[in-house]
DNA sequence: GTGAAAGCGCTAACAG
DNA sequence: CTGTTAGCGCTTTCAC
């Protein structure tokens, strides 16, 4: 007879189906004796509630969808850890989808989460357009992690990328560097703020900003590094918009015989596990990803629960972690 | 009136609900005129089929669940890429869950996928017990990636870890090394086969195997490396059971002033993106993760479709990728 | 506390 | 080709 249903459990326990439903949902309007009977009957039959049916009837799924922009960037797994912790605590399940670095696929991922009936969606490192985001937010509560928003419909949790960009740049300036090139993150989340923090810090110190357009991937960092190393004299320092790109830059510099940090200092962003690897030991701007993930869940659940109307935008302060790739001139 | 339902579309298009259902499922038993009417009505209303309802009624969800053992290990995202490609081609959605390196959590992840009603489950790098696996397989089709199985109920796609272990070891032997230590992967998937390949190769060449028990994490590799570097004279070479652990070993060796490959050669396993990073340039055993992911989807869909009864266990050949961490003695 | 009845939005025969 | 009729397994009033 296939997998047991609530009906089967009710029959086995000698009660009505509605009573079983109450027990399964942990209601306190059930006598201990009945609860006991139902629970043992359910255990004996190996009964498990059918989520699709529950969801169809109740309009809630106790599930949130998490869209990660790029599974290959170690930044995201750590966000996912924080999300999981907080979600489990709140009794929610988490389902993950990858955006494969593409805004259109992110949109699709969100849509399939909506079709699936999740109660809310978390977007990490989102590259999706603001217009799409606003539109999707009319259909499901959305919180974005790691991207700046001034939306009234979508909540966000982020670090202060502008301050982080400034932090990295001023660190290099303090070390005595004057010609500092920024390898930016293109359309990536937070990229323009990091760039603007860099530019502002340079100007403040009477230095000329020099930006190379790039992407949040090692591949793109490598290409940027090759340009830096081959076109004219090498700069004194490079600030890459994230760790993954910084690693690409490091590789290109090494290929061209440039020593780090003796010839060129390099700073990254995110302080991912990559930066901590002994052989890389990359100076990087840290944002507490785990906390951001947990905070995002809280914010999302507030909106799902309807305990808040307006949007909230959390911004946490980044900090600089000094390692071996940056040194005095 | 909330989100539009099939009923609304039928009304707007002036047809029956069943006809709308046929159109939505892409049936060819519909006149072009009707199809057109239905499609435009659906588009105007912004109608999207409710997956929970569809699933409840049809017993199929066109969704497969992918459980990744550890989001932090770059091995898994690449498997996920292969899985996604093949699944999309077949018209299936993929949902991801992390096992957080724990067998019990993997089990839970599978169970929640079952509750959700996925058509099949893919387990990558599974650490779950065989007994649990067999039990779960009675409830949903399961294919395991990267673990050796002799099950008749669960399919698997794997590389030949024993051959890979031998490959790595013989590479080091050919380079003239005699004292080669193996840092193993503990309970990790494929670990015991890699170890046995190592042991067999050593014995074949009249060498004494030396195994240090460890894990598939950088942290564990670091500890193993510290033991190797501090207890007595350093070995001539180390074969670590995966890249992540190898990176830990590299860090520990460097901390102790040992040069790689001048003092010690190091080989990893998986040939992940980590191994290719310029500053690491780790010699490693490659297994084509992307292909494994795609193949696993094919195998799973065969079973879901019922086109095969018995279990199938694919084994692909690994290959060695030589880089800078291994050199002649 | 407990049971009966209605229905969530969709698919799946089965007639016409 | 199109419409009718039953449910899928669960939640949710609403009486008892």
Find chain A residues with C-beta within 8 A of B52's C-beta.
Answer: 51-53, 55-56, 61, 116-117
Q: For residue A314, is pLDDT > 70? A: yes
Q: For residue B32, is pLDDT > 90? A: no
B254 is written with which tokens?
Answer: 């460097």
Q: Cα separation of B300 and B145, whole Å?
A: 11
CB B180 within 8 A of CB B173: yes
The nucleotide lying nearest B10 (C-alpha to C1') is D3
For range B231-249, the mean pLDDT: 97
For range A66-75, the mean pLDDT: 95
Pairing relationship of beta strands B142-145 and B120-124 according to DSSP bridges: parallel
Reported as a pLDDT band with limits 50, 70 and 90, residue A33 is: confident
Q: For residue A214, is pLDDT > 70? A: yes
Tell me whether residues B52 and A55 touch, CB distance under 8 A: yes
Residue B290: the pLDDT is 96
Tell me whether residues A117 and B50 touch, CB distance under 8 A: yes
A229 is written with which tokens?
Answer: 């190393």
CA distances in angstroms from B63 to B105, B297, B304, listed in the order given: 21, 11, 11
Of A3-7, A78-82, A173-177, B247-251, least confident by mean pLDDT is A3-7
Find chain B residues with C-beta within 8 A of A117's C-beta.
Answer: 50-52
Of A166, A323, A162, A181, residue with least CA distance to A249: A181
Distance B18 CA to C6 C1' (A): 22
Distance A175 CA to C3 C1' (A): 78
* Candidate from A61, A115, A279 with C-beta closest to B250: A279
Find chain B residues with C-beta within 8 A of A53's C-beta.
Answer: 52, 56
Residue A1: the pLDDT is 53
Query: Is B18 in CB contact (< 8 Å) with chain A?
Result: no
Nearest 10 degrees: Cα torsion A48, A51, A53, A57: 120
Report the chain A residue with the minimal C-alpha distance to residue B245: A277
Report the chain A residue with the minimal C-alpha distance to residue B49: A115
Reported as a pLDDT band with limits 50, 70 and 90, residue A166 is: very high
**Percent of chain B predicted with pLDDT > 70:** 100
Tell me whether residues A218 and B100 touch, CB distance under 8 A: no
Q: How many CA atoms lie less than 13 Å away from B315 in the CB half-sphere?
A: 11
Query: Is B246 in CB contact (< 8 Å) with chain A?
Result: no
Residue B1: the pLDDT is 53
Q: Which of residues 28 through 87 in chain B touch A, CB cutoff 8 A?
A: 48-53, 55-56, 61, 63, 71-72, 74, 76-78, 80-81, 84
The nucleotide lying nearest B58 (C-alpha to C1') is C11
CA distances in angstroms from A11 to A6, A20, A28, A52, A310, listed in the order given: 9, 10, 21, 22, 48
CA distances in angstroms from A108 to A97, A145, A156, B80, B118, listed in the order given: 10, 18, 20, 17, 19
Q: Cα separation of B158 and B150, whole Å?
A: 12
Q: Cα separation of B53 and A228, whole Å?
A: 56
Of A4, A47, A3, residue with least CA distance to A23: A47
Tell me whether residues B84 and A94 touch, CB distance under 8 A: no
Which residue of A81, A85, A96 is the best one to mutate when testing the B interface, meaning the one whose CB has the most B CBs within 10 A? A96
For range B45-62, the mean pLDDT: 91
The nucleotide lying nearest A34 (C-alpha to C1') is C1
Reported as a pLDDT band with limits 50, 70 and 90, residue A3 is: confident
Q: What is the pLDDT of residues B251-269, one digit of tens each?
A: 999 999 999 999 999 999 9
Distance B53 CA to C15 C1' (A): 25
Q: What is the mean pLDDT of chain A?
A: 95
* Candidate from B53, B115, B279 with C-beta closest to A48: B115
* Domains with residue ranges and CATH for chain A: 6-49 (1.10.260.40), 58-159+288-318 (3.40.50.2300), 161-287 (3.40.50.2300)
């Amino acid at each position: 007879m296939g997998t047991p249903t609530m009906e089967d459990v009710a029959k086995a326990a000698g009660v009505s189906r509605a009573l079983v439903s109450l027990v399964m949902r942990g209601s306190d309007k059930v006598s201990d004796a009945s609860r006991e009977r139902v629970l043992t009957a359910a255990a004996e039959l190996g009964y498990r509630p059918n989520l699709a049916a529950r969801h169809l009837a109740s309009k809630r799924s106790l599930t949130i969808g998490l869209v990660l922009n790029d599974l290959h960037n170690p930044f995201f797994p750590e966000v996912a850890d924080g999300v999981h912790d907080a979600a489990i605590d709140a009794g929610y399940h988490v389902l993950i989808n990858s955006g494969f670095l593409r805004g259109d696929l992110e949109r699709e991922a969100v849509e399939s989460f909506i079709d699936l009936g999740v109660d809310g969606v978390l977007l990490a490192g989102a590259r999706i357009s603001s217009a799409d985001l606003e539109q999707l937010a009319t259909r499901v509560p959305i919180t974005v992690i790691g991207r700046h928003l001034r939306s009234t419909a979508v909540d966000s949790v982020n670090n202060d990328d502008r301050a982080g960009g400034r932090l990295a740049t001023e660190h290099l300036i303090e070390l005595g560097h004057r010609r500092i090139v920024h390898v930016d993150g293109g359309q990536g989340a937070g990229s323009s703020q990091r760039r603007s923090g860099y530019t502002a810090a340079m100007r403040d110190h009477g230095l000329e900003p020099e930006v190379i357009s790039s992407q949040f991937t090692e591949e793109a960092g490598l290409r940027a590094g090759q340009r830096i190393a081959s076109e004219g004299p090498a700069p004194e320092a490079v600030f890459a918009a994230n760790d993954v790109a910084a690693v690409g830059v490091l590789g290109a510099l090494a290929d061209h015989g440039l020593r780090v940090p003796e010839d060129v200092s390099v700073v990254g962003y995110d302080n991912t596990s990559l930066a901590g690897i002994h052989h890389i030991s990359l100076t990087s701007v840290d944002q507490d990803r785990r906390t951001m993930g947990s905070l995002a869940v809280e914010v999302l659940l507030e909106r799902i629960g309807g305990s808040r109307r307006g949007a909230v935008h959390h911004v946490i302060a980044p900090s600089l972690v000094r390692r071996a790739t940056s040194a005095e001139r």
